[in-house]
Amino acid sequence: MATVGIIANPASGKDIRRLVSYGTVFDNQEKVNIVRRIILGLSAVGVARILYMPDYYGIVPQALDGLKQEDKVSLEVERADIELTADQQDSLNAAIFMRESGVGCIVTLGGDGTNRMVAKGCGNIPLLPVSTGTNNVFPGMIEGTVAGMAAGVVALGIADGPPAVMPSKKLVIYKNGQPVDIALIDAVTLRDRFVGARAIWETERLLQAVVTRGEPHNIGIASVVGNIEPVIPESDEGMALEFGGEGRSVLSPIAPGLIVKVGVKGHKKIMIGDEVRIIRKPCIIALDGEREVEVKEDEEACIKLTFDGPRVVDVRGVLHERVKKWAGERSEG
Amino acid sequence: MKTMTYVEALRDGMRFEMNKDPNVYLAGEDVGIFGGCFGQTAGLYQEFGPERVIDTPITETAIIGHAVGAAASGLRPIVEIMFIDFTGVCMDEILNQATKMRYMFGGKAKVPMVIRTPCGAGVGAAAQHSQSLEAFFTHIPGIKVVMPSVAADARGLMIAAIRDDNPVMYIEHKGLLGVEGEVPEGDVVVPLGKADIKKEGSDVTIVAWSAMVGKAMNAAASLEKEGISAEVLDPRTLKPLDIDSILSSVAKTGKLVIVHEANKTGGFGGEIAALVADQGFDYLNAPIKRVTAPDSPVPFSPVLEKAYVPGEEKIIAAVKELFA
Amino acid sequence: MEVTKETLLGFYETMVTIRTFEEKAMELFAAGYIPGFVHLYIGEEAVATGVCANLTERDFITSTHRGHGHLIAKGGKIDLMMAELMGKVTGYCKGKGGSMHIADVDLGILGANGIVGAGQPIAAGAAFACKYKKQDNVCVCFFGDGASNRGTFHEALNLASIFKLPVIYVCENNLYGISNCQRDHMNVSDISDRAASYGIPGVSVDGNDVMAVYEAAAEAVKRARKGEGPSMIECKTWRHRGHFEGDPGIYKNAKEQEAWIKKDPIIKLEKKLVEYEYAAEDELNAIKDAAKERIEAAVEFAKNSPDPEPEDVLRDVYAD
Ligand SMILES: Cc1ncc(C[n+]2csc(CCOP(=O)(O)OP(=O)(O)O)c2C)c(N)n1
Ligand SMILES: [Mg+2]
């Protein structure tokens, strides 16, 4: 039975960037609304079952509850059986649960941070990321209705592989030789000791960065790369940066409304399989915009670029593929 | 007859009416699984379910306001305000809505609702959780005010309050909740506006309500030993007030002492004194005395709180003054 | 944000002092030394600590029924607090107020409050006074998730916003208002979302991470001091005890409770301090012992203090 997972992170879009810059205010009522549109999209293409991540707010149950009488769907809806922790661990646990129960596609609502957690647990299941975070590179702004349809088409096995489902790059963070975490877009080291309020907004604390991609239209640290020498998502390369006042100064939008000159001492293209050593310690590594990993003076840390990130659904590609198949069926029949 | 505590009795009154009338429901903060701050609603959630025993957010304005709307539209809400002190934050809904609607609409609306709320000092809860505010409400035309002192009245007055077609302020005293008494079972109503002589006597009338009734009874017992026969009269309902019963008692004794826990100035004791002075002046052979709390907020420290709440000694002293 | 070892150890000391004070209050309540209601702050220490670290004596706070932690973090004197809890004449309020009404106006502490949601407009008023006098001091309003359902919250935020007041609304979202779970009392999961309706920036942070709270509060206070107006910080946290002492908390899910106890803010900070070699375990124990000693001394002071005199009832009703 074609099943689609829904992971809607109730906590995305609330961080300190709303205070220090002009981060998007994304309230959960809108997430509920988007989930409604996704569910109707799934139902329209014939998906039989939804498995969702539970949360304190009850985004998915509220979405179902609020559907108009004439829109009530007959899909089977099941709650992923995980223990709630009310933090980002929930997204990871839900992704693992969904992978193990064999869903055909996972739709995420959140930002880069949410998708990073899901990517840690989803294995080979294609992800369809819908942006609801503060400033994102990984998920696109996409209408929920068509996102639901596309996820359904993937789950039903109608489309798979490029250009419908694309591979992605990722960064693996190693500490003392052990992989400890991953990032989908960027890993940035900061002259900080604590995770604190998580986000990055003080450029004077930037030390090094490694990115899987970076284009001038991105927001966040990826935009710095984009403004020096763009790296596209499909290429098999990444970039390593070293920050510092002595080098060139790159005007970049590093947070919503926060366009600042970032000093870059050096940059270097890296290839899949390359490892970048963390030289300035102690530091904190921010993964996809959130301070996560603490590296002490005496710890060895490095960041490796790989191409085994999550498989990502391209809504445009999927729906074109579907139309093509229909056309084929019509001409055959 | 059955032995019950005051709190069990008032709960049993609610239960009785909820079983009888499907339009009666209960709403308030933590009245559900928590069973109320002092256990007043314990078990009702399990018995009647979440549709009729409703936990609300901390939103007194909307608790009372919604009850006004629901009552005007055919339901009979019982709403709880966790402490009478919090009526301060929903006073408009009482003062300008619940109590005025019928009159302003030319008698065309009915607002049958009960506001249940605990009053009283004695538990160290300080100035914002200990007040006796009945006089606020007796001053508002359009609402009835009920203050039971014993378990049987707690049940009977509850049933009457729910059946009444007007807003009723049902004020339960925190210090009485655990006090046991004999309570009649079944459809037994204590009518609103009917006083009760809790002890007969011939020398002096002590009018007291709520927790002060017990203290007046103890004072009367002590006075009895000293040869003074005191009659203890509990109005039970302050509005409407059974002034006739008070007058006939005073006609018999010639002396009146009024006891209430609320502070003196503007207290309901002043109203009773004025009525008796007006309608029963000839019965009196001594000045009317009031025993009340001083004109201060309720203090926290047990020493101060004890000095604040009128006690037996003060009642005895006031009575003796009339015989000096 | 630069945070030194000294700052962190300061946080630790404050949090441990609050915890020790509360544990003592719990014990004294059970033993009958403290009358009335006692609402303990155990589990939420990082919030008051992280926020108040950004304030000076000239700044104001409004507190709540769960206020001991706010007072201690703002510099309140524990001996006067303890004496007040026991209703002694030497207490902060001369025994008139008790746990729910402790205040230290000289330190800008405009009082704990027995009325949920009462502090919200009062805080706007204190901030109004700061602005009116053209000073750069600010006011912080602490309030709970439950309190954000009161009309006062909405009216105060709107007023603060249009008057552009130097006030920071700090929501201590411990997910419950007495027995009422947040998902049952509001259809919003992040209370910071509510700020947006009033044109105020709102953020949510991990309220059990003192660094996260500190950082967010630092930005909000900076904003307020610069005249950029109010902000709101929602701190997600958990109360370890019942609503008040005596409440067994049966309405809470045991697994939830267990998961949150694991996120204890003091243990979290302790781990960091040890990991970074900012303090060895015995140094942390020394801080704890010192806190215990100070609190024992406060208890002695309180126990040996006289009760008020009955005639004090009528004192301080009016200013002369
Ligand atoms: C106006 C008002 N209504 C109700 C109460 C009773 N009460 C005291 S604390 C409380 C719960 C408050 O919840 P929250 O604001 O979340 O704070 P917490 O106790 O969780 O710290 C309630 C309902 C009150 N004191 N004031
Ligand atoms: Mg709360």
The alpha carbon of residue A76 is apart from the nearest alpha carbon of chain C, in Å, by 24
- Judged by DSSP in three states, C248 sits in coil
Q: State both tokens at B168.
A: 């009723």
The stretch A180-185 carries a mean pLDDT of 96
Does A28 sit within 8 Å of C193, measured CB to CB? yes
CB-CB contact of A163 with A314 (8 Å): yes
What residues contact residue C304 under an 8 Å CB cut-off, 6+ apart? none
The atom of ligand 1 lying closest to the CA of B29 is 23
* Sequence-ordered alpha helix ranges (H) in chain C: 5-30, 45-52, 68-73, 78-85, 119-132, 151-163, 182-185, 193-196, 210-225, 254-262, 265-275, 281-304
pLDDT score for A57: 79
Distance of CA C101 to CAs C30, C38, C80, C143, C284, Å? Answer: 20, 11, 13, 15, 32
Task: Determine what percent of chain A is predicted with pLDDT higher than 70.
Answer: 98
Asked if residues B250 and B284 have their Cβ atoms less than 8 Å apart, the reply is yes
Residue C113 has pLDDT above 90, yes or no: yes
The tokens describing A36, both together, are 């409604």
Asked whether the beta carbons of residue C97 and residue B308 sit closer than 8 angstroms, the reply is no
- Structural contact between residues C169 and C123, judged by C-beta atoms closer than 8 angstroms: yes
pLDDT computed for residue C129 by the predictor: 98
Cβ-contact B114, B77 below 8 angstroms: yes
Mutation to probe ligand 1, out of C22, C37, C39, C65 (largest number of atoms < 8 A from CB): C65
Q: Name which of C37, C85, C154, C180 to mutate to probe chain B: the one with the most chain B Cβ atoms within 10 A of its Cβ.
A: C180
Q: Where are the domains of chain B?
A: 2-183, 196-321
Residue C317 lies in a domain: no
At position A271, the amino acid (one-letter code) is: M
Residue A4: how many other CB atoms lie within 10 Å? 30
Q: Which residues lie across from A270 on neighbouring strands?
A: A238
Mutate to test the pocket of ligand 1, among B29, B34, B56, B58 (most ligand atoms within 8 A of CB): B58
Residues 301-320 in C contacting B (C-alpha not used; CB under 8 Å): 307-314, 317
Q: Is the pLDDT of residue A84 over 80?
A: yes
Got the DSSP string for A106-142?
EEEEE-HHHHHHHHHHHTTS-EEEEE-SSS-SSSB--
The two three-digit tokens of residue B126, written as one number: 């300080």
pLDDT of amino acid A15: 76
Q: Which residues from C are below 8 Å from A when comparing CB atoms?
A: 1, 3, 175, 182-183, 187-190, 192-193, 196, 201-206, 209, 211-212, 214-216, 219-220, 223, 231, 233-234, 236, 255-256, 259, 272, 275-276
Helix locations, chain B, DSSP H = 6-20, 44-48, 60-72, 91-92, 101-104, 134-138, 151-163, 211-225, 243-253, 268-279, 302-308, 312-323
Does the pLDDT value for residue C183 go beyond 80? yes
Instruction: Indicate the SS3 state at residue A44.
Output: helix
Q: Is 90 exceeded by the pLDDT of residue C247?
A: yes
- Contact state of C188 with A19 under an 8 Å Cβ cutoff: no
Which one-letter amino acid corresponds to residue A40? L
Distance, in Å, from the CA atom of C198 to the CA atom of C160, rounded to the nearest integer, reads 9
Within this chain, domains B2-183 and B196-321 share the same CATH topology:
yes
State the chains in contact with B (3 or more Cβ–Cβ pairs under 8 Å): C
pLDDT score, position A333: 61
Whether residue B204 contacts residue B219, with contact meaning beta carbons closer than 8 Å, is answered with no
| Nearest CA owner, ligand 1 atom 7 | C116
* Residue-level pLDDT at A9: 86
Range of the domain at C62: 5-305
Report the residue from B32, B124, B308 with minimal CB separation from C98. B124
- Cβ distance C256 to A15 less than 8 Å, yes or no, reads no
Rounded Cα distance between C2 and C13, Å, is 19
Q: Which atom of ligand 1 is nearest to the CA of C147?
A: 15
What is chain A's alpha carbon radius of gyration, rounded to the nearest angstrom? 20
Residues of C within 8 A of B85 (CB-CB) are 114-115
- The pLDDT, as a whole number, for residue A25 is 77
Q: Give the helix/strand (H/E) hosting B54.
A: strand B53-55
Number of H helices, E strands in chain C: 12, 7
Mutate to test the interface with A, among C174, C190, C272 (most CBs of A within 10 A): C190
Contacts of B284 (CB under 8 A, 6+ apart): B250, B254, B255, B256, B276, B277
The greatest distance separating any two alpha carbons of chain B, rounded to the nearest whole angstrom, comes to 60
List Cβ neighbours of B310 (8 Å cut-off, separation of 6 or more). B212, B215, B259, B260, B261, B291, B292, B293
Q: What is the structure's pLDDT at A331?
A: 81
Contact A11, C173 (CB under 8 A): no
Among C116, C169, C175, C181, name the best residue to mutate to test ligand 1's pocket (greatest count of ligand atoms within 8 A of Cβ).
C116
> Which of C202, C206, C214 faces A18 most closely, judged by CB atoms?
C202
Pocket of ligand 1 (CB under 6 A): B 29, 58, 60, 82, 86, 89; C 65-66, 114-117, 144-147, 172, 174, 176-178, 243
Asked if residue C319 belongs to a domain, the reply is no
At residue A132, the pLDDT reads: 84
Exposed / middle / buried, residue B199 (Cβ in 10 Å: 0-12, 13-18, 19+): middle
Band (C264; pLDDT cuts 50, 70, 90): very high
CA distance C190 to C182: 10
Q: Would you state the pLDDT for residue B23?
A: 98
Share of chain C above pLDDT 70, in %: 100
Length of chain C: 320
pLDDT at B31 (0 to 100)? 98
Active site residues of B: 129
CB–CB contact C149 B58 (8 Å): yes
Q: Whole-angstrom Cα distance, residue C12 to residue C8?
A: 6
Q: Report which bound ligand comes closest to the CA of B86.
A: 1
Q: Identify whether B240 is preceded by a cis peptide bond (ω within 30 of 0).
A: yes
Chain B residue numbers with beta carbons less than 8 Å from the beta carbon of C114 are 85, 125-129
Which of B29, B56, B301 is facing C308, going by the closest CB pair?
Answer: B301
What is the domain-level CATH number for residue C257?
3.40.50.970
Distance separating alpha carbons of residues A293 and A290, to the nearest angstrom: 9
Domains of chain A with bracketed CATH:
3-167+310-332 (3.40.50), 170-306 (2.60.200)
Is pLDDT at A134 greater than 70 in this prediction?
Answer: no
Q: Which CATH class is domain B196-321?
A: alpha beta
Q: Which ligand does the CA of C148 lie closest to?
A: 1
User: What ipTM, to 2 d.p.?
Assistant: 0.95
- Closest residue by Cα to atom 5, ligand 1, is C116
Low-confidence ranges of chain B (pLDDT < 70): none
Question: What pLDDT is recorded for position C54?
Answer: 98
Q: Provide mean pLDDT across the span A113-138.
A: 90
Could you report the per-residue pLDDT of C43-75, keeping only the tens digit for each?
Answer: 999 999 999 999 999 999 999 999 999 999 999
Q: CA-CA distance, C160 to C169, in Å (whole number)?
A: 10
Residue of chain C whose alpha carbon sits nearest to that of B63: C150
Burial of residue A333 (number of CB atoms within 10 Å: 0-12, 13-18, 19+) = exposed
- Which H or E run contains A325? helix A315-332
Confidence of residue A18 (pLDDT cuts 50, 70, 90): confident
Query: Are C314 and B123 in contact (CB < 8 Å)?
Result: no
Which tops the pLDDT comparison, A169 or A132? A169
For A214-245, the pLDDT digits (tens) are 999 999 999 999 999 999 999 999 999 999 97
Q: Which chain B residues have any C-beta within 8 angstroms of a chain C C-beta?
A: 29-30, 32-34, 37, 55-61, 85-86, 88-89, 123-129, 294-297, 299-304, 306-308
**pLDDT at position C73, please?**
98
Strand partners, A303: A173, A276
Instruction: Count Cβ atoms within 10 A of the Cβ of residue A185 and give its class: 0-12 exposed, 13-18 middle, 19 or more buried.
Output: buried
Residue A73 has pLDDT above 90, yes or no: no
Mark yes or no for CB contact C204/A27 under 8 Å. no
State how many domains chain C has.
Answer: 1
Tell me the HSE value of C166 on the side-chain side, using a 13 A CA sphere. 25
Mutate to test the interface with C, among A9, A12, A18, A19 (most CBs of C within 10 A): A19
Q: What is the mean pLDDT of residues C258-282?
A: 93
3 state SS of A281: coil
pLDDT digits (tens, 9 = 90+) for C88-110: 999 999 999 999 999 999 999 99
Burial class (CB in 10 A: 0-12, 13-18, 19+), C203: buried
SS3 label, residue C256: helix
pLDDT of residue A13: 65
Q: How far is A141 from chain C (nearest CA, A)?
A: 20
Question: What pLDDT sits at residue A133?
Answer: 67
Q: What string of DSSP letters covers C270-298?
A: HHHHHHTTSS-HHHHHHHHHHHHHHHHHH
Q: Which CATH number fits domain B2-183: 3.90.930.12, 3.20.20.140, 3.90.950.20, 3.40.50.970?
A: 3.40.50.970
**Selection from A206, A223, A208, A332 nearest residue A276 by Cα:** A208
Question: How far apart are alpha carbons A184 and B109 in whole angstroms?
Answer: 65
- Lookup: tokens for A5: 């997972």
